[in-house]
Each structure stands twice: as C-alpha cells, then as structure tokens.
Amino acid sequence: MLRSKNDIEKARHSLSHVLAIAFREKFPKAKLGIGPAIDNGFYYDFDVKNASEEDLAGIEGRMRDLIAKGLKFEKEAVTPAAAKKIFADEPYKLELVEELKKAKKPITVYKTTVKGSKDPIFVDLCAGPHITHIADIELGSFKLTKLAGAYWKGDEKNKMLTRVYGLAFATKEELDDYLKLLEEADKRNHRKIGAEQKLFYIEPNTVGLGLVMWQPKGAMLWRVMEDFWYRAHIKGGYELVRTPHIGSRKLWETSGHWGFYSDSMYPPLEVGTSLEDMKQGKKAKIKEEYLLKPMNCPFHVSLYKSAVRSYRELPIRWAECGTVYRYEKSGELSGLTRVRGFTQDDAHIICAKDQVKDELKRVVGFIKMIFGTFGFHDYKVYLSMRDPKNKTKYAGNDEGWRFTQKVLEEVAKEENLDYTKEEGEAAFYGPKLDFKIKDILGREWQCSTLQFDFNLPERFDLSFINDKGKEERPYMLHRALFGSFERFIGLLIEHYAGAFPLWLSPIQAAILPISDKQLGYAKEIADALREKDIRVVLNADNETLGKRIRNSEMEKIPYILIVGDKEIESKTVSVRRSGKGDVGAMTAPDLIEKLTKEIEEKASE
C-alpha cells in the first residue's frame, strides 16, 4: 500500500522503468531517452518509428503482467567505462554518461529483475529512488494516456523523440476520480470553447506560432475587461501612459534585460538599411538596433526621467495595457496560456522608501478585488526570493535585497496572505509576490504579480528632490493584475466553461422573432437594449425557433428573448435565462431594469 507522497513518487518512477521494458518488447529497436516521475504520473522518451496511441493499451497490459510477476529494482554504482559498455547501443544514455563524467558526479544504474531470477531484464542509467515492493502498486492504479513529441533535453535544436505519458495514483479510486476531472477539464478546454464560440484564432503557418487574433466576440470580451480595468485604475489613483512596441538596444542594455533576459527576447532589428540594400548585401552607414519589447518598465522609467521630480509628486502610479513579445519555445506554447505576443496590464509605482509598505498593501488589496470580481477564489501566493547561493543571477547589492525581501514578507503577513516562500524564484531585479490561480485540475497558473525593483532606479539614475531639497533615490514597484489578458481570458473561459456571467458575456441577450412578421418589433427591442449599453444580437435566421434557441444556448448567451404575435400585442418579450429556463414575459423597461441591475452587481456565480 502506498501511504506517503514519497512512496507515490517512487512508484511513479518505477512505473516509468516498467513502461520502458514493455515498450522495448513491442519496439526492440527503440532507443531510450529519460523516464522521470512527474505530477500525477510519469513518462518515458523513446527514439522510435511508427509508434501510435493504438499501441498503448497493449503496452499497459504488458506492464500489469510484469508487475504481477513481481519485479525488483537494484541500484549499482558503476564507473564511466562500465556505463559506456552497458549503454554501448544507447546514444542518449551515452551522452548523459559523458555529462556525469565531466561534472565528476556519481554514475548509478538500476537493474530490474523478475522475482525468482538473477538476470536483469532491464538496466537503466538512473539515480533513483525506486519502490521497494512492486506489489504495493495496485494494478488498476495507473494508466497510459497519450503520445507526444518532445525534443531531447527540451532543446528544439535536438531530435524530436516520442514521449509516452502515464497517470499513476495510490489507488484505483484516486485514478478514477482524476480521470473524471480530466473529462471535465476537456469540456472546459479554452481552445475548444474558443473555437466553438469563435472567440479567438491562432494560425501558426501564415501568421505565426503563439500569436493570437481576436474574433468579434473575443474582442468584445477583451474590451469589457479593459474598460473595467481602466475605470478601476482611475478610481485607484493611477494615471495612464502609452509606450512603443520597440526600443533601442541601448535602452535594454541600460535596464539589464539584454544581459539577464536576452534568451527570451527576439533578435535586434537593424534600422538604417533599405530593403533593396539589404537584398544586395549592403551594410548601413549608420546602424541602429531596436528590440521588440519584452516588458514595459524601461519606457516608464524613461518617462519618469523626462522631468525633475519632487517628493510632492510621489507616489507616481502609471498604468498601461502594453503588448509585449517574448520568445517561447514552440513546444511550450499552449493556446492562450503560453503565447509569444501578449498584453500585460502593467503598472509601475515610483515612491519614496517610507511609502513602500503602504503602496504594496494597496496593490495586494487591488489584486484581491480583481480576483473576487472575476470569480476566482482559489489561489496561492508565493514569495519569490533571491537564491543566496547564486547571487550572480541577480542585479543589485545585498543591502537592497535584504530590505526589499523583508518588507515584502511583512506585507504578506500583515495582509494575511497564505503564502509559500520560494528561494531562487525572484526576478533578476528584485523579489516578488506571485498570485497563482488554481484550475479544476488543481494546476496553478501565474496571473497577478507584485515585484519590488530597486535596480532600475539605480541603473537609470532616478531621483527626486526630497523635503530637505536634496536628491534621493526612489523605489519602484512593478505589478500586473490580470498578468496578461490572454492567459486571464483563457482561465476565465475554463472557469466558467464558456458560460460567462452577464456583465462579462460578449453577447448578453439574443432576440429571436418567431417569424419575419415580428422582425420590426424585434428590432425595436434590440435598439432599446443597445441604447442602454446592453450587448444584443438579433437572430432571424431561416431556421426553426427550436433550433435557434438551441444554438443560442450552445453559444452560452445568458438571456434569450422570444417575440411573437402575443408579445407584440402585450408589448412584452418572453424571457429565457440560460441554465434556468423560462423566466416569463416582461416589458422592455422592466427587462432593461433587470439586466442593468444584474450587470451592475457583477455576479460571478
């Protein structure tokens, strides 16, 4: 019986070896990659041809047969020479052996034997650990789920291998419960719902990977969110700024991004050469280099430096919905949650040292309000700190890091945040509080972030004139509430399964005349609703009323308004509420009052 989390991790790792044994029986020429335990299961990478998901059931059955026979895992330390002999026909293992040798790390193998036999049926390069008693793994507690492509070592310059994924839990009941969650998650998949409701479109071949185009309903959802965002910021004492999509390489060198973050930035654009000269290989006489911005902060800093600042102006709170561009590996892109071009709801607060804690608390309150308004109540907070053993990864001095980390933790405690401290996860310029939303599967998604920066003010030589008439260095806070519109919308789609609350829904009401005879009256109702800023569509398609109702329900439109001769005579509409059925007949003024009240309340459930 698997009792502890550690036991389950060992079992998952052991199952990856059993998978490798069964897979190699089916595909003897397959070359071995790696096979670790992962969250909720395990995987193994193979260099193989012609494997398909149709093979998984047979391989899974063979795994059960092997476990039923009884398997034993034995660890053995070997020399580099012995390891090379063992894995003479395994190029990927040989590569790993060579790396371990160069790093002067111990090399160990695990030998798998069947009960009653001394000769191993499988030997793998592995540090372990593995399960002690294979019988502790219930035969129904694991399942192979899918094949996927995976670059060797996660590097797209390397060969694409075949990755076989499996799930594994302590009991069959836990596995069954998780499979039900997966089924529900598939129904809520934002890519699937986004296509069905025509919210967004990604065209990888012509437009490019990880670049999102918003269709009319998706663009309307974005606009509703952005309008709410702007109003909340103006009310919260922020001012709005706008900045370019590209900036001189000098800007990014000064900010430190080019030195610490260039792996995630696109290569410089050379300006000063005409297209014709470029075709002919001619070089520019005066060459300028520009970079697509991965962040907005250096621009905001430059705006601050455009004038002499007084302590009377502080704190300065500047907000911008700015689109940024970051190079993400193609294998890591995923719908709206991982893209290459995205819009951050960014803001930077520049303040004096004695204002820092109050400003941090204001932002924490803002984040809580945003999450609550949009219906997210299950989230975790992480306090990301500098790695004290690897300070070269970070800019700034020890004194600055001590102060900023201390005050961030004080704020987390005083605001009663349920936070976890993580060393080594800070941004290169300062510590941060990350707010991660949990989805239906318990996966965490980074959204809101509050980052402390004492480096950019230093790098750009920011100052203000204090109350004694002397120059003083300000502090700077970076913060985003949605994180990015793209990811936040993706999570919203899945959270509500596409059935958005009325205030967020791209289309709030659909008007369905029973026949063309009621079309004029239906248009009058539509105009009356639009006059009150209610988003409405008139559906007079040449289809039966029943089909039009079903289509509106499939589109998750909150209110369906039906008009026939009876409604014209009584000056009403017949109202249906999505998920609740018939509401009854209402006059246009009463309906508008009802919808307006519901929109203002921003009910999220």
* Residues with a known catalytic role: 297, 326, 344, 346, 348, 432, 478
Provide the residue type at 230 as one letter: Y
DSSP state of 332: G
Q: Match 């060992």 to its residue by tokens.
A: 10
Q: Assign 233 to helix, strand or coil.
A: helix
Extended beta strands in 134-181, E state: 142-151, 160-168
Are the C-beta atoms of 16 and 36 separated by less than 8 Å? Answer: yes
Q: Assign 486 to helix, strand or coil.
A: helix
Token pair of 451 as six digits: 């980052």
Give the helix/strand (H/E) hosting 46: strand 41-47
Token pair of 366 as six digits: 């803002």
Q: Do strands 160-168 and 536-538 pair parallel, antiparallel, or not at all (unpaired)? A: unpaired
Token pair of 557 as six digits: 């439109």
Cα gap 527→206, rounded to integer Å: 39
DSSP sequence for 173-222: HHHHHHHHHHHHHHHH-HHHHHHHTT-EE--TTTT-TT--EE-HHHHHHH
Token pair of 377 as six digits: 């109540």
Are the C-beta atoms of 394 and 386 separated by less than 8 Å? Answer: yes
End-to-end CA distance of the chain: 40
Cα gap 456→453, rounded to integer Å: 6
